[in-house]
Amino acid sequence: MGAPVNAFKARLAAGERQIGCWLSLANPYSAELMAATGFDCLVIDGEHAPNDLRTTLAQLQALAGTGVEPVVRLTAGEPWMIKMALDIGAQSLLIPMVDTAEQARALVAATRFPPEGIRGVGYAVARTAGFGGNPSYGQTANREICLFVQVESREGLANLDAILAVEGVDGVFIGPADLAASLGHLGNGTHPEVTGAIDDAITRIAASGKTPGIICFDLERAAHYLQLGARFVAVGADMAILASAARSLSAKAKALP
């Protein structure tokens, strides 16, 4: 049987756009709801949302069979976190705060079985290999992993070309909020220095043959990034959508005559 085909990775390799949304509510029921709204992919956020291993597992289970591809953003690029996420079924990972090529190489190694990497071999009892029902998983797993590293600092930008040269990194995802803070413009992602740096980064990532990614809630600017070559673009977050709709509804209701 081998590892399941990673449709998210295959679509990006074919040059297709993947329009996604963040899952910040840490709940499988809302994840299943979001899977029915038309997005190509959904990012289970473990950095700024209260997701842990079990809530991530529950959301992977909720998304299974929906046709919407899950991407798991871990809290950090620790090898033990990566190992556990892959064992519960994640195939596409987004790792925050990557500043150097050395970090990127270590992340690639953590996602690969030996001899290509250091991923622990425990798939005989793991969900990702059908709980032992897919004994050939290990021979094909490496090629189906999709790894995005987040560049979101001045240092990361300075090392972008070296990061892009790391084999096994499928794409680089720009984190606008942290990048703005690193450049001295906390809370001001539209500052010309920030937007100029993002435009330059996306252009360089696309030119390298790797996939550029970004999160952007402004659809006009998201369209601009797509035109520059971005292919993995998240345009919202479930929590933000709910909060915005609820605030609008309550304000309108309270204004009724």
Q: Which CATH class is domain 7-254?
A: alpha beta
Q: One of 48, 185, 191, 224 is an active-site residue; which one?
A: 48
pLDDT of residue 1: 80
Dist CA 177 CA 187 (whole Å): 7
Domain ranges of the chain: 7-254
Residues across the chain: 257
| 48 given a catalytic annotation | yes
CA 250-31-98 angle, 5° bins: 105
pTM of the model: 0.96
DSSP 113-168: -TTT------GGG-GGGGGGT-TTHHHHTGGG-EEEEEE-SHHHHHTHHHHHTSTT
Average pLDDT for consecutive 10-residue bins of the chain (257 residues)? 93 97 98 98 98 98 97 97 98 98 98 97 94 93 98 98 98 97 96 97 98 97 98 98 98 97
